[in-house]
Structure 1
Amino acid sequence: MTLTDPVKSVTLLSVSKVICSFSLLCIATADDAAFMSKLAKALTPTPSGWSATSFCSWTGVDCSANRVISINIASQSLTGTLPPDLNSLSHLTSLYLQGNALYGALPSLAYLSMLESVYLDGNNFTSIPDGCFQGLTNLQSLSMTDSINLAPWAIPTDLTQSSNLVKLDLGNANLVGTLPDVFDSFVSLQELCLSCNNLTGGLPKTFAGSGIQNLWLNSQKDGFGFSGIIEVLASMTHLSQVWLHKNLFTGPIPDLSNCTTLFDLQLRDNQLTGVVPPSLMSLSSLQNVSLDNNVLQGPVPSFGKGVKVTLNGVNSFCRKDAGPCDSRVTTLLDIAKDFGYSLQLARSWTGNDPCGDWSFVVCAAGKIITVNLAKQNLTGTISPAFANLTDLRNLYLNNNNLGGSIPGGLTTLAQLEVLDVSYNNLSGDVPKFPTKVKFNTAGNALLGHSGGGGGSGTTPSNGSGDAPSGSPNAASGGSSLSPSWIAGIVVIAVFFVAVVVFVFCKCHAKNRHGKVGRVNNLENGKEVVPSFGDENVTMSINFFGK
């Protein structure tokens, strides 16, 4: 071998690499050419400007190094079915097919790792293959609005691989089911449109802290709709436009004071309750807000000048005009707040006179003397605001799902006669009530144990300790003896048992000793009883019947 042989080897290797790369490029280019040829034949009519030999010169087709990187044939009234091997265009970065009448199954887009933008709106696609959106690691925009012929489908979790996604627009696309709680994967998401579908369930917890600016979840179709509370909005500080109208949301409007760029808030046609927060009315960025057809309570909200507000339809404001509510109404709404503004209470507690026809409230001479909220499936906690009903005699909160502790302020109710909090999930210390109060705490396994919440209780117990005989508290309150009395009784009992055992053992031992001393005279067959000179032995034997 000569010195030039290594040089020849390197040269041959380089040439082979070039030939191999060129061959792969030719194969890939041939794949692109084959697909584009099939696409041209599948579309009716053939898109304008697609008659040239080279597909890279077709109108709406962009190439780089003879590889297709973009197809834009939007709004050309095209029909036909797309070839299934669309993902053979491995260099494709954008696909614009919106505004046509394409039908059949959507071809898979899986593993088009360079794909950034996909617009398929307003076509007649009927199905989406499994795994269609896998491996789209560079996807930034996906829009499929008004895809009304799609078979029912759920938001694919495959999209979590698209961490660069900025826009997801799937409005009116026959989506069903609930939103997957995966939005912490979409760190770049700014626009989410899921309007006019068949979606249900609550808002995902992973909305919190997201960068979403435009959130459109409105107008879910008849029989469907998002539900639950909307508290998560308070931590979505980048929000600009929120459309949640025509759903089944309940609970109060959260404090949105940190959403400093929010200008459009559409909440109409839900079942929202509670008082409109003052922080919303003072939000300087707000321009449009709709609160129609909810069950909102408290005073009529007053927004700043220049804010377009609609409040038409059903609501439960205490007055028809601006101004404060009656103090009794304010107190009862404070109480309802700690119950999460129950929808049932909101529907029945309307107007500005709780002594009119408010459910669960009994009055005498315009003063609230009884509140009976037993068995109303209430959640939340017992409000300290009950202490503001200074004429209250009877309070029934039994058989609900209330947690936390019993507010110590209830002990200040001078007229209170009955307090029934039995069969809830209460915990913490138990306040000491006057002996006249019939106080029922049965069925609260954790009551009397620390760590239950913000009550200012006294010594843990299951009741007042002075409940009358036969009352629920008397039945469930346990022994009235203090621990020191119990300990003393135990000590005396143990001492007494010890004395009895000692006497028994001593006497039994002496008796046994006497039996051992009794021996037979083997010579004459007579029994000999030894004399011990101790009268106690005889007495002991006689005592035990020996």
Structure 2
Amino acid sequence: MSTTVHRQGCTTTVKRRQECRLLRALLLTCCGLAAAAAGRRSDADAVADLARSLAKPPSTWTTAGGDPCSFEGISCSSSGRVIAIDLAGMGLAGTLPPSLSSLPALESLQLGGNALSGAVPPLRARSLTSLSLDGNAFTSLPKDFPLGMPTLRHLSMDNLPLAPWPFPHAIAGAAAPPSAPSPPPTPPTLRLSRNALTRVVPAALGKIASLREISLSNNFLQGPVPQFAAGVAADVVDGNCFCLDEPGACNAQVSTLLQAAEGFGYPFYLARAWRGNDPCSGDWLGTVCDSSGSVSMIYLQHAELSGTISPAIADLVDLERLVLAGNNLTGEIPESLTKLTKLELLKLK
């Protein structure tokens, strides 16, 4: 009798376990469906925000919600998530809403050939592979651009009226600060012409095996011309401020002065004025040379400089006067300047 009862108890326990597993599966399914529905609602809200931000959205778009998968230029996955927005060449005006960053499944954003303006919002879609902003009127980019897009393969943003800004180290795969996310791999297609870029192009850019096409022409880039592998379609020399017209090391004094410019944050007016390979040519703003062709004086007083004084200035061994007063420089005076045996005047205030 006791054996029979025990078997019945086992049978009951097994049934309960099966019922629990079935209930958990149902709960997981319900939660998954609810999450998917919430995701689709979030995508619809973001697209509705975009419609409201455009001066005249495409005719199939509504600003009151609706299914974005039925809108012109929008593609969705089988689960109904927005994966592509293609509004290129539609003559659209308006701005981009911050809610674009809440499209986590977005793979492609094509906005070239419009008249969109204002700031480009942070784009945090981890699956974004293609981004085109060409020919719009955007005035600023996210501070950490293009961090947050680790799968980006094609970046095209030619001809934007941006304020002068330094070439982003993140694009060249340089190390990010410890507190920042790791930089994404450099996209194989990279178009940054006519963007008022300053800075010396990181040498690491020319060593990236995945790079296939790059355009950097008509900016204010300085230093040596970057060199790329034979298979890379490169348009980088025209309209820039490189020291030479082809790859090769700059004059040693030029390299030192560009390190000084780096300390100052590569200000735009120095990018325009410090060009070529001879700082004694008379065209280099604020520099004076002695009869032997050595930089002997640097006058950049009240020049609206910020940043720091580069220790590399000590490499200008014949420097006699360094005048940087009336600027907004921070940090310490480099100890290396004590090695300048000919220095007669150092004016910082």
Give your verdict on TM over 0.5.
Answer: yes
Does the C-alpha gap of structure 1 residues 199 and 339 become closer, same or farther in structure 2, counting only changes over 3 Å? farther
Correspondence 1:327 to 2:245: no
Structure 2 counterpart of 1:254: 168
| Contact 2:241 2:271 (C-alpha < 8 Å) held by counterparts | yes
**Per-residue Cα deviation, 1:85-138 (whole angstroms, up to 9, x for no partner):** xxxxxxxxxxxxxxxxxx9976746343xx3513425xxxxxxxxxxxxxxxxx
Are 1:360 and 2:286 matched, yes or no? Answer: yes
- Structure-2 residue corresponding to 1:416: 343
Query: What SS class does the counterpart of residue 270 from structure 2 fall into?
Result: helix
Number of the residue aligned with 2:312? 385
The 1:301–1:230 alpha-carbon spacing in structure 2 relative to 1, beyond 3 Å, is farther
- Whichever residue aligns with residue 284 of structure 1, its letter is A
In the TM superposition, 1:3-152 aligns within 5 A as: 108=62, 110-112=64-66, 115=67, 117-120=69-72, 141=76
Which residue in the other structure is 2:8 paired with?
none
In the alignment, residue 329 of structure 1 is paired with which amino acid? Answer: V
1:317 is paired with a residue whose SS is: coil
Change (3 A) 1:262 1:361: same
> Cα–Cα, structure 1 residues 245 and 120, in superposed 2: closer, same or farther, change >3 Å?
same
CA contact (8 A) 1:369 1:393 kept: yes
Gaps of 5+ in 1: 1-102, 122-138, 143-162, 423-546
Aligned twin of 2:93: 175
- The C-alpha deviation readout for 1:133-169, integer Å capped at 9, x for no partner, is xxxxxx9649xxxxxxxxxxxxxxxxxxxx9432233
Residues 93 and 117, structure 2, Cα contact 8 Å, conserved in 1: no
RMSD across aligned C-alpha pairs, in angstroms?
Answer: 2.9
Task: Give the distance between the partners of 1:292 and 1:363, measured in 2 at CA.
Answer: 31
Counterparts in 2 of 1:345 and 1:287: CA distance versus 1, 3 Å:
same
Give SS of 1:188's match.
coil
Q: Which structure 2 residues correspond to residues 200-219 of structure 1 after superposition, within 5 A? A: 200-204=117-121, 206-207=122-123, 210-219=126-135
Shift of 1:209: 7.3
Cα distance in 2 for residues equivalent to 1:384 and 1:348: 22
Question: Counterpart of 1:192 in structure 2: which amino acid?
Answer: L
1:373 correspondence with 2:292: no
CA pair 403-167 structure 1, distance change in 2 beyond 3 A: farther
Contact 2:107–2:125, Cα closer than 8 Å, also in 1? no
Shift of 1:333: 0.8
Structure 1 pair 330/306, CA: closer, same or farther in 2 (3 Å)?
same
SS of 1:321's equivalent?
A: coil
1:245 paired to 2:158: yes
- 109, 115, 133: which one pairs with 1:198? 115
State the 1:226 CA deviation: 3.3
Q: Structure 2 CA distance, aligned partners of 1:312 and 1:187?
A: 37
What is the distance in 1 between the residues matched to 2:272 and 2:184? 30
- Measured against aligned partners, the alpha-carbon deviations of 1:309-365 in whole angstroms (never above 9, x if no partner) come to 113531111112221001101101111112221121111111111011211101112
Between the aligned partners of 2:270 and 2:119, the Cα distance in structure 1 is 22
Kindly provide the amino acid, as one letter, of the partner of residue 64 in structure 2.
A
8 Å contact from structure 1 (residues 176, 197) kept in 2: no
| Distance (Å, rounded) in 2 between the aligned partners of 1:407 and 1:181 | 42
Letter in 2 for 1:385: A
1:196, distance to aligned residue in structure 2 (A): 2.2
Contact kept, 8 Å, 2:104 with 2:126, in 1: the verdict is yes
Q: Please list the CA deviations of residues 462-497 of structure 1 after superposition, one character each: whole Å capped at 9, or x if unmatched.
A: xxxxxxxxxxxxxxxxxxxxxxxxxxxxxxxxxxxx
Shift in Å, 1:305 = 1.9
Q: Return closer, same or farther for 1:184/1:237 CA change in 2, 3 Å cut-off.
A: same
Letter in 2 for 1:362: V
* Paired residues of 2:289 and 2:297 also in contact (CA < 8 A): yes
- Of 236, 243, 252 in structure 1, the residue corresponding to residue 149 of structure 2 is 236
Describe the SS at the equivalent of 1:375. Answer: coil
Aligned in 2, Cα 1:248/1:109: closer, same or farther, shift over 3 Å?
Answer: closer
The structure with higher relative contact order (CA 8 Å, sep 6+) is 2
Does the CA contact (< 8 Å) of 2:296 and 2:319 recur in 1? yes
Q: Which amino acid in 2 is paired with 1:219?
A: G
d(CA) in 1 for partners of 2:301 and 2:126?
A: 40
**Are the aligned partners of 1:272 and 1:296 in contact in 2 as well (CA < 8 Å)?**
yes
Runs of 4 or more consecutive aligned structure 1 residues displaced over 6 Å after TM superposition: none
Among all aligned residue pairs of Structure 1 and Structure 2, give the percentage whose two residues are the same amino acid: 35
Taking a change above 3 Å as real, the CA distance of residues 111 and 247 of structure 1, as seen in their structure-2 partners, is closer
Partner of 1:54: none
Distance 1:381 1:181 in 2: 34
What are the ranges of 5 or more consecutive residues in structure 2 without an aligned counterpart?
Answer: 1-56, 174-182
Distance 1:237 1:411 in 2: 45
**Count of aligned pairs between the two proteins:** 276
2:233 counterpart of 1:318: no
Residue of structure 2 in register with 1:521 after alignment: none
Structure 2 vs 1, CA of residues 202 and 383 (structure 1 numbering), >3 Å: closer, same or farther?
farther
- Contact in 1 for aligned 2:115/2:135 (Cα 8 Å): no
- Residues 330 and 229 from structure 1, CA distance in 2 versus in 1: closer, same or farther, beyond 3 angstroms? farther
